[in-house]
């Protein structure tokens, strides 16, 4: 109880998009997994005492959890501007979402991707998927796709369904792809479009309806909701017509005594058999709601300032070479890959961690065809003969600071 005349100390305003971290540790690895937003942590903490089964129990706890799960579905769908004809299906992550989409493709579907994709958007597709070369500009990507689709429509099976699967932002270069233009071209040729939004969604609003893409895949752990849920949003028809992705409880309407006597449900439950990841869905929805309420233009401006600081600093260090696909003016999210001439990338990353408490990623970033090609190009462009065979990647987002960037640049400068 307050003594007369005393007022409670003013509380700082609640900041749902503040991220959790460890003091002193510089996290520049958001593109792999972003730190947890308060909104996600708090939503999980609030629900934990109520934790019970989803869609399976009649008790008050279970009913609350079912409601929370279905509300989360609605919020995540709204966040991506899902249309009435879309399903919102919770998955484990983007990889799972794209594998699910590959599973529901109608027989004979031809898939078209670019060699610049993450493995999650290269490997799930059926044998014979067309992999277009890495374009050197967004415009070249659109032209390349148009030419490929024209050929496919003139080929042996001109009426076959076609799916074009593209990334929104590269996990290697951070460069944004011309998604709306690619979708326009795809639709002109009667193809559908799947957007790998794993790296785009954490940085800019992604509006499925405005971009006019048919499917979207994203991961909660890259969206500040590290509780293991991802999502596939998109056209219900293929999803409802295909056999379930997972077979088991929750996906069925009726199971009879004979093995063939099964009727599957339609809707998101068809592909979500088994007890769902309630906390993951709720955490993801909490971040979606917080981002929707935030001034995203201001967040984007701040991120671009940090990105410019980082890229300018890298460009000023003569022993560093940045990897990029498009020209220097391309739109980008907060991701930069680079190499240190004459230094092994794994060794540099280990030194940054051990001596400077800076965490970033080294390797080929699950995008081997793209990363190898960009490394070869960087060697040619930078005039360096001694570039290593793998790269380093720094990535940032909510909660990143000038100091994070400056500490990385100072540590890299010391390697010269
Ligand atoms: N696509 C892109 C562009 C990515 O960056 C990633 C993660 N690195 C994935 C897909 C796969 O995401 P997840 O590991 O969450 O399935």
On the question of pLDDT at 231 being above 90, the answer is yes
Please name the residues in contact with 336: beta carbons below 8 A apart, sequence gap of 6 or more.
173, 174, 307, 310, 311, 314, 322, 393, 394, 395
Instruction: Say how many Å lie between the CA of residue 304 and the centre of ligand 1.
Output: 22
Buried b (16+ CB within 10 A) or exposed e, 396-407: bbbbbeeebbeb
Which CATH number fits the domain that encloses residue 65? Answer: 3.40.640.10
**What is the position in ligand 1's atom list of the atom closest to the CA of 366?**
8
On the question of pLDDT at 2 being above 70, the answer is no
**What is the position in ligand 1's atom list of the atom closest to the CA of 170?**
3
Give the pLDDT band (50/70/90) at residue 12. Answer: confident
Pocket test for ligand 1, best of 92, 175, 198 (most atoms within 8 A of CB): 198
CB-count burial class (<10 Å; 0-12, 13-18, 19+) for 268: buried
Q: Which of 293, 323, 344 is the last residue of a domain?
A: 293
Instruction: Please answer whether residues 361 and 267 qualify as being in contact, where contact means their C-beta atoms are separated by less than 8 angstroms.
Output: no
366 assigned to active site: yes
Which CATH number fits the domain that encloses residue 395? Answer: 3.90.1150.10
Which residues form the domain of 180?
41-293
Same domain (yes/no): 127, 226:
yes
Q: Which of 277, 293, 309 is the last residue of a domain?
A: 293
**What is the position in ligand 1's atom list of the atom closest to the CA of 120?**
10
Could you give the number of structural domains in the chain?
Answer: 2
Same domain (yes/no): 32, 51:
no
Same domain (yes/no): 301, 287:
no
Same domain (yes/no): 285, 338:
no
In a domain, residue 108? The reply is yes
Same domain (yes/no): 396, 287:
no
Instruction: Say how many Å lie between the CA of residue 224 and the centre of ligand 1.
Output: 14
In a domain, residue 277? The reply is yes
Question: What's the pTM?
Answer: 0.96
**Interval 252-266 mean pLDDT:** 95
Same domain (yes/no): 167, 246:
yes
Instruction: Please answer whether residues 173 and 133 qualify as being in contact, where contact means their C-beta atoms are separated by less than 8 angstroms.
Output: no
Ligand 1 pocket by Cβ (under 6 Å):
93-95, 118, 120-121, 167, 171, 196, 198-199, 219, 221, 366
Same domain (yes/no): 103, 179:
yes
Same domain (yes/no): 209, 323:
no
Instruction: Say how many Å lie between the CA of residue 39 and the centre of ligand 1.
Output: 22
In a domain, residue 8? The reply is no
| % of the chain residues with pLDDT over 70 | 99
Tell me which residue of 189, 193, 186 sits closest to 166, measured CA to CA: 193
- Model pLDDT, residue 302: 98
Other beta carbons within 10 Å of 254: 9
Same domain (yes/no): 388, 341:
yes
In a domain, residue 5? The reply is no
Same domain (yes/no): 323, 287:
no
pLDDT tens readout for residues 281-334: 999 999 999 999 999 999 999 999 999 999 999 999 999 999 999 988 899 999
Nearest residue (CA) to ligand 1, atom 8: 32
Instruction: Say how many Å lie between the CA of residue 146 and the centre of ligand 1.
Output: 26
Q: Which of 228, 258, 293 is the last residue of a domain?
A: 293
């Amino acid at each position: 109880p307050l003594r007369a005349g005393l007022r409670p100390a003013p509380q700082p305003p609640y900041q749902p998009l503040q991220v959790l971290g460890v003091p002193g540790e510089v996290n520049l690895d958001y593109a792999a997994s972003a730190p947890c937003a308060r909104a996600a942590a708090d939503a999980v903490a609030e629900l934990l005492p109520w934790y019970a089964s989803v869609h399976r129990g009649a008790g008050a706890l279970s009913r609350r959890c079912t409601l929370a799960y279905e509300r989360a579905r609605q919020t995540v769908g709204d966040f991506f501007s899902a249309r009435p004809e879309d399903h919102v299906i919770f998955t484990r992550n983007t990889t799972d979402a794209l594998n699910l989409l590959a599973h529901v493709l109608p027989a004979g579907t031809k898939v078209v991707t670019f060699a610049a994709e993450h493995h999650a958007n290269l490997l799930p597709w059926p044998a014979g998927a067309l992999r277009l070369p890495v374009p050197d500009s967004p415009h070249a990507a659109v032209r390349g796709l148009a030419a490929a689709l024209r050929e496919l429509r003139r080929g042996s099976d001109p009426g076959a369904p076609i799916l074009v699967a593209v990334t929104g932002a590269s996990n290697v270069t951070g460069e944004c792809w011309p998604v709306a233009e690619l979708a326009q071209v795809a639709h002109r040729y009667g193809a559908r479009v799947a957007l790998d939004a794993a790296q785009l969604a954490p940085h800019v609003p992604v509006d499925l309806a405005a971009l006019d893409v048919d499917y979207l895949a994203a991961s909660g752990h890259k969206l500040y909701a590290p509780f293991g849920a991802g999502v596939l949003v998109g056209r219900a028809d293929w999803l409802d017509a295909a056999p379930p992705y997972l077979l088991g409880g929750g996906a069925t309407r009726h199971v009879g005594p004979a093995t063939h006597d099964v009727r599957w449900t339609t809707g998101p439950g068809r592909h979500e058999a088994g007890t769902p990841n309630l906390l993951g869905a709720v955490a993801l929805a909490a971040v979606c709601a917080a981002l929707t309420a935030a001034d995203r233009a201001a967040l984007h401006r701040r991120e671009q300032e940090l990105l410019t600081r980082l890229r300018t600093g890298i460009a000023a260090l003569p022993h560093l070479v940045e990897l990029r696909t498009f020209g220097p003016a391309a739109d980008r999210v907060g991701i930069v890959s680079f190499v240190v001439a004459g230094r092994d990338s794994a060794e540099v990353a280990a030194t940054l961690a051990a001596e400077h408490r800076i965490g970033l990623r080294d390797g080929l970033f699950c995008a081997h065809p793209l990363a190898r090609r960009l490394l070869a190009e960087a060697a040619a462009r930078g005039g360096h003969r001694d570039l290593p065979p793998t790269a380093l990647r720094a990535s940032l987002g909510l909660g990143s600071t000038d100091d994070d960037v400056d500490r990385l640049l100072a540590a890299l400068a010391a390697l010269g």
